Structure 1
Amino acid sequence: MNMDTPARIFVVEDHAYMKEMLREFLSLEEDMEVCDTADSGEDALQHLDEASPDFVLVDLSLPGVSGLDFIATLRASRPELPCAILSGHGERRYAEQALAAGARGYVLKGDPDELPNAIRQMLRGERYLSQALQY
């Protein structure tokens, strides 16, 4: 990835307020931009190619296809595209399921300052788990 241009983040989030907050928050980072958003996994799959993201941030609880199923589908079709779950579910089993599905990380909602650094770490090829999920 070229660090001279901002990383293109695709946000899959069904709550309009949360989606807009993520767009505004991530756009404050000089090295990131939200290239597109989707309300569902199905919607995201239709817009992925034209958005050409560097990273996909996926809500765990989506209408229709779950965030985990979306990530498994994404891994099958675009194995090189890193993605992570952003969720309010703090149970470790969800994080384990996300990693097993092919997510590079699992970030808990609630500490926005954590998100940009988590995304940077995952863009470097590292795995990321929110502090509360580590032991």
Structure 2
Amino acid sequence: MDLRVVSRRVGIAAAVVTVVALVAPYAVITGPEYTSQLAAYYASGVVGWGGIALFALLSAVVIASVERGNVDPGTLAGVAVVLGLATTASAASWALAVEPSPVFRDHLWLVWHARAVVALSVPVPLAAAVYARELLS
């Protein structure tokens, strides 16, 4: 088993899964009465959901393009680690800033959604760090 290949795939997959989990309430919760509540839910935190999605997708792109040879692989591997950490840190700040609203009463799973996004984002910097270590050693 090549740890470099596995960590690369895990990092990309974890970043994509983080974004999919992040936007899941938009696909599941419908109704005009929830529109403003979901908007407030996603706007919580320092960077909101847009920052989390941006950092996660950038992490996936950077991890995927490390071995393309356009930029020094060591530099890109380091950037991937930093972007992974930014993804998890922004997800954690968002989860801490979310305030319950009436939408939580009707959709109890939403109480755990922000924490699940944080948990799903944790493998991104870990896989990027393992990938960087394997690339540089």
TM-score range, shorter chain: under 0.3
TM-score (norm 2): 0.27
Q: Which has the higher helix share?
A: 2
Q: Which has the higher strand share?
A: 1
From the CA coordinates, give the structure whose radius of gyration is larger.
2
